[in-house]
Chains A and B, each alone.
Chain A
């Protein structure tokens, strides 16, 4: 390790390690709190010192916080919303990428503008809308998983821009060749575009999934019944009711919520990085 190496490369590692520490500390803290049998703010440190599964047991045994039920609700909402979002976004992105029609530019721009407004700014209106909806069709009212999912599906076109950017990179010659061979637009979409776009579909799907998983405001207004909560509202309730002493149980729940997502992220990392950079860098 020469001085020269330190001056040109070594300090970069130091900076990176500092950033890594910054990024990792809260994560370690959750792990530590989840396994620490005392599970209080005072007793928890960044480095795990003790190991016990007592909080995980507490999480599953207490009927006042049906963790499995919340997980199931969350998975249902996330799968439904993500599925609809990717489906609708892919269809629209294909139209914007391949067809030339009147209002194409206007449509794209208004989409971009509408997406600048978070849906929950209209929370009051949504609340009244779904109160009325619940009176008409009880299965879709407030405090139902179906109704809540439906609200989030208002963002069905959230992924259009990212997908369109990718579709644009699929060479048009492929479509044209297929059309020469007698394929219709539907076949081109299903047989050519979609298979080639599989990586970006996976990434946008994951991003939509995580976004839905973390949605808190509308969930806290819509889902008040313990059995109907999602993980976001449910886990929030655990730590909010007693910030100091429920830390362990909360951390256990948080760990089980975040772990699958983190693993998926690491697994799909290559595509995520590619997708984010491609989405940002305009060509």
Chain B
């Protein structure tokens, strides 16, 4: 009875939420989000309101989330990797043309002016914006968006002092907010016949005449004052409108498919290929080294302490658990202080004067040392578990056969432990292969050489990718996605290969 009630309640909430969202999504033309919302509802109703698929009832919630926020982004990454998406190409061609035309609007002496109020249905910084205009001559009110101008009936909005002050569903921006949104508003224009309405200052707008005109048939933009024609030309991986002499009308390009160009760039551009291979090699060394070092220290400790005569094992274990319990970003930032050349703890304790974070080799060593600290407690716990699972008589048998302590460890204990924790080693390798946190928080990928600010000595592929995507040199989303895709492939292949190897290891023993 209660189960049915809960089920009805949950499904009702889902349907209700989707229904409540629908009007605003439709009016905002967010059809993709709308479709996803209703597909989710359909799946939920299909799963829980029918009797048929029993297993699905348990698998559906997690799977929906997994598909939406893990699988879809991966597929989107794949799609992005075939585009030139990035700074300067964030808009579609249509949007670019509209913007270029609208910003070419000039004011003439007879341009009509309006009283302006800026409002939004979304975010006061990013929009989407609506201009509420009042014609001071006729006191008529209009609302204008990038779609065009609409005349408003007096009962649709509140007009006070010659300005629209309120409209249902809209938030009006304060003068300060208008100021903050200026970069967006400068490119905002309400297209009208023969021109567009643009803002002038905080509370005024004018209807100007567009100097540029787009001719769809020939795909050219014409300057009606000078007669100059701008045609589409490809420059590098981007297309621009250029005049006969090759001068760009605007630096604004648009998002376009470039096929496999991004991948070609990785493998043919000598500078990028050089950094890519170097970074790839270090990524492998870093991941393998981290796993090997933590395993070595963890295992040695486990073997050392796995002796019933050692008292206080539980206490040791509690203290050794500490590095594992402290949130990673805290430990890493603390360690970054330890590596300070002049005042850092490590140089202070050892009396050395190593430039830990400034020297390429020392920085790599620092990274491995930090990762050893972060990871050895986990390996210690896991190998302790594996050791204790090995039956005592196996080792006894070896001793009886005359094997020394070391031989017994090397020939019997170590392989058995290895088999038991193989999946953990594989997972650890995959984790460190993409361990962005450690690299970014300790070295930022540096030190860098002056001639290549994009690829540092300790960069692993993921940190390199993130810098390309979001770094200071301008976003290169398309290219970064190509590298991310390569990373997906490499991680997958390595993981599969390792699983195969560990399985054969199992069969041996």
Residues of A within 8 A of B338 (CB): 26, 29
Instruction: For chain A, residues 218 to 264, give those with C-beta under 8 angstroms from any C-beta of chain B.
Output: 221, 232, 235-236, 239, 243-244, 247, 250-251, 254, 257-258, 261-262
Asked if A113 and B322 sit within 8 Å, CB to CB, the answer is no
Q: Given A89-B62, A280-B421, is A261 in contact with B325 using a C-beta cutoff of 8 Å?
A: yes
The 4 residue pairs across chains A and B that have the minimum distance between CB atoms:
A277-B385, A154-B69, A88-B62, A122-B73
B301 A19 Cβ-Cβ under 8 A: yes
Q: In chain B between 353 and 395, which residues have their CB closer than 8 angstroms to a CB of chain A?
A: 373, 376-378, 381-382, 384-386, 388-389
Query: Which B residues between 315 and 374 are near A, CB-CB below 8 angstroms?
Result: 316-331, 333-338, 340, 343-345, 373
Could you write out 19 A-B pairs with CB less than 8 Å apart? A9-B309, A13-B312, A23-B322, A26-B338, A27-B326, A91-B62, A117-B491, A120-B462, A122-B76, A125-B76, A135-B128, A156-B66, A216-B437, A221-B470, A265-B321, A273-B317, A277-B384, A280-B382, A282-B423
With contacts A26-B335, A41-B337, A92-B58 known, what are 6 further pairs, Cβ within 8 A? A23-B322, A26-B338, A119-B69, A125-B72, A273-B317, A273-B321
Knowing A92-B62, A185-B54, A261-B326, the reply to whether A125 touches B320 (Cβ < 8 A) is no
Docked-complex contact B33 and A217, CB < 8 angstroms: no
Asked whether B19 is an interface residue with its Cβ less than 8 Å from the other chain, the reply is no
- Chain B 179-214, CB-CB to A under 8 Å as 1, else 0, gives 000000000000000000000000000000000000
Q: Which residues of B contact A273 (CB under 8 A)?
A: 317, 321, 381, 384-385
Give the residue name and chain of the B residue nearest to A85 (CB).
B62
A92 to B57, CA, bound (A): 9
Closest to A30 in B: B334
B interface secondary structure, majority: helix
Asked if A179 is an interface residue, CB under 8 A from chain B, the answer is: no
Q: For residue B308, give the distance in angstroms from its CB to the closest CB of chain A.
A: 10
Shortest beta-carbon distance, B358 to chain A, in Å? 14
State whether A138 and B373 are in contact (beta carbons under 8 Å apart), knowing that A12-B305, A15-B304, A116-B491 are contacts in the complex.
Answer: no
CB of B477 within 8 A of chain A? yes
In the complex, A136 has a CB within 8 A of chain B: yes
Question: A12–B325 contact, CB under 8 A?
Answer: no
User: Is the CB–CB distance between B373 and A129 below 8 Å?
Assistant: no
CB nearest neighbor in B for A254: B330
Cα A148 to Cα B213 with chains together (Å): 42
Closest to B297 in A: A19
Q: Is B25 an interface residue (CB 8 A)?
A: yes
User: Which of B91-99, B134-142, B232-240, B481-489 lines the interface with chain A?
Assistant: B481-489
- Is residue A58 contacting chain B, with contact meaning CB distance below 8 A? no
| Least CB separation from B485: chain A residue | A121
Contacts of A217 in B (CB 8 A): 436-437, 440, 466
Q: Are A29 and B73 in contact (CB under 8 A)?
A: no
Q: How far is the CA of A206 from the CA of B126 in the complex (A)?
A: 38
CB <8 Å contact, B337 and A247: yes
CB pair B323–A281 under 8 Å, yes or no, is no
Q: Among A27, A29, A138, A281, which residue has its beta carbon within 8 angstroms of that of B420?
A: A281
A278 in the interface (beta carbon within 8 A): yes
Q: Which of A100-118 contact B (CB under 8 A)?
A: 101, 107, 113-114, 116-118
B373 contacts A23, C-beta separation under 8 Å? yes
For residue A280, which residues in chain B have a CB less than 8 angstroms away from its CB? Answer: 382, 385-386, 420-421, 423-424
State how many angstroms separate the Cβ of A198 from the closest Cβ of chain B: 19
CB atoms of B63 and A157 under 8 A apart: yes
Query: Is there contact, CB below 8 Å, between A116 and B492?
Result: yes
A174 within 8 A of B: no
- Alpha-carbon gap, A110 to B466, bound state (A): 26
Instruction: Find chain A residues with CB under 8 A from B496 CB.
Output: 113
A186 contacts across to B, CB distance below 8 A: 3
Q: How far, in angstroms, from A118 to B55 measured CA to CA in the complex?
A: 27
Q: Distance in Å from the Cβ of A23 to the closest Cβ of chain B? A: 5
A266:B329 contact, CB within 8 angstroms: no
Question: CA of A248 to CA of B503 in the docked complex: distance in angstroms?
Answer: 50
State whether A138 touches B122 (Cβ < 8 A): yes
| Complex Cα gap A214–B327 (Å) | 5
- Assuming A113-B492, A120-B436, A280-B420, is B21 touching A137 (CB within 8 A)? yes
A141 touching B61, Cβ below 8 Å: no
Distance between B441 CB and nearest chain A CB, rounded to angstroms: 7
Residue of A nearest to B60 (CB): A91
B70 interface contact, C-beta 8 A: yes
Minimum C-beta distance from A283 to chain B (A): 9
- Residues of the A chain whose Cβ atoms lie less than 8 Å from the Cβ of B328: 214, 216
